[in-house]
Structure 1
Amino acid sequence: MSFVSEIPAAPSAQALAHFSASLAYETDCADVHATLNSGNAPDFVLLDVRGPALFARGHVPGAVNLPHGKIVESKLADYPPHTLFVTYCAGPHCNGATRGAIRLARLGRPVKIMTGGVTGWLDEGFELTSETVHA
């Protein structure tokens, strides 16, 4: 028996519920990229929740810089309450996207995390920009 099979897989119905539910909380770099490059206006606001210095060094094109510690209702006033926000940070080693998502959820805002962050974006072969956009 291997380390992989030592703990049995969940029954298929439970696995389906688990994996389906995970997509309610996260999206990936490829889906964000496809949407941003579709020619249509995105149906979400992409938030880079890192600090301004890291944002200035390079970020996902179209992202708005709003550090997770500064996500407050007054910064969101220009967005309708139903606006979907997608947060990202440096990558899997960073929990800023989660911190930002928590703050948005506490404010009653729909939110997902872009898994992989900047690291995932670059791993997919997508380019960053240094164009500045702030919330």
Structure 2
Amino acid sequence: MPSLVSEYPAANPSDASLHFRRRLAFETDCSDVQRSQLSGEVDYVLVDVRSSEAFALGHVPGAINIPSRMISAQRMAEYARQTLFVVYCAGPHCNGVHRAAVRLAELGYPVKEMIGGVTGWLDEGFSLVGENVSALGNGVSCAC
């Protein structure tokens, strides 16, 4: 009797390669973002899509704040169409990051999700910057 792991056979290696390459085209992780920042290889715009209030309390260093509801052609006009945006929200329990990614993609911009968001960033042991980072643990809504 096969284990729960092998009950469904793994994909053939070429299909697996294609699948995981596609995932990497849509997402990055907190560690890769932090490493790129430390090395000075920041070739993207990191966007916190939470409310301005949540952003002010604490956010990933180097991020700008464009709440997902504020992403529009007018707001994004200052960026060249080839600008890569990396978006994040509160964490895996929030779909505001997906709304923001849809809006950016529909405006013609390349976009990736930083999986984990603020929760993932903190889980990795990285620090936030802001006015009152400790308040984020008190149920502050991302309001996305």
| Same fold, TM-score > 0.5, yes or no | yes
- Structure 1 residue 16 displacement after superposition: 0.6
Deviation at 1:2, TM superposition (A): 2.1
Q: Which whole-Å CA distance do the structure 2 matches of 1:37 and 1:74 have between them?
A: 32
Structure 1 position 84 matched with structure 2 position 77: no
| Aligned equivalents of 2:65, 2:35: Cα separation in 1 | 20
Matched, 1:24 2:29: no
| In structure 2, distance between residues paired with 1:43 and 1:18 | 25
Q: Distance in 1 between matches of 2:54 and 2:4?
A: 39
2:84 partner amino acid: L
Tell me whether 1:115 sits opposite 2:115 in the alignment: yes
Indicate the larger mover: 21-30 or 1-10.
1-10
What is the total number of aligned residue pairs between the two structures?
Answer: 130
TM-superposed CA distance for 1:6, in Å, is 1.4
Q: Select between 100-109 and 67-76 the one with higher mean Cα deviation.
A: 67-76
1:55 match: 55
State the match for 1:11 in structure 2. 12
The runs of 4+ residues in structure 1 deviating greater than 2 Å are none
CA distance in 1, matches of 2:80, 2:66: 17
TM-score (norm 1): 0.91
Instruction: Report how far residue 39 of structure 1 moved.
Output: 3.2
Post-superposition CA distance 1:45-87 (Å, at most 9, x none) = 0010011111111100111111111100111121111110000
Instruction: Quote the Cα distance in structure 2 between the aligned partners of 1:93 and 1:11.
Output: 32
What is the DSSP-based 3-state SS (H/G/I as helix, E as strand, rest coil) of the residue aligned with 1:27? strand
**Which runs of 5 or more structure 2 residues have no equivalent in the other structure?**
132-144
Percent identity of paired positions between Structure 1 and Structure 2: 58
SS at match of 2:99: helix
| Aligned counterparts of 2:53 and 2:90: Cα–Cα separation in 1 | 12
CA distance in 2, matches of 1:28, 1:91: 12
Amino acid of the residue matched to residue 31 of structure 2?
Answer: A
In 1, the alpha carbon distance for the partners of 2:48 and 2:128 equals 12
Partner-residue secondary structure (3-state), 1:86 = strand
Question: TM-score with structure 2 length normalisation?
Answer: 0.86
